Amino acid sequence: MALCPPSLGDWVLEYYGQSYNGFITDKAMSNLGKEKTKGAKSHLNTDINEDHPALMYKIVSRAIKSEEDAQIAKDTIVNCIKLIGMYFDELALSVGINSSNLER
């Protein structure tokens, strides 16, 4: 099998980043200031200019050769999304927010 789960995780993070990190960074900039968020904004611009999600998608799509590979890809993506959720739950707790009370 040619599929490499870390590549799937990279694709999920790049896709997530393209979808949500602009909003998150803009919110951080409005609360923390431009100086403290310029590195994040610069990284977002690099991702956009180099189209990292498309690059990772090409790698992943070429690696899926069978139904078994597709199932491994699906399971890996589901696990990555769960990990992202756990990260934000922990982040919320670190600032005193119980994320189980938030709408999902």
pLDDT digits (tens, 9 = 90+) for 53-83: 898 888 888 888 899 988 988 988 888 889 8
> Measured in whole angstroms, how far is the alpha carbon of residue 49 from the centre of its chain?
17
Whole-model pTM above 0.95? no
Tokens of 61: 């799509």
pLDDT the model gives residue 4: 62
Q: Is the pLDDT of residue 19 over 60?
A: yes
Q: CA nearest 42: which of 34, 31, 54?
A: 34
pLDDT digits (tens, 9 = 90+) for 36-57: 888 888 888 888 888 888 988 8
Place of tokens 């994040």: 40
Cα separation, 9 vs 87, in Å, equals: 14
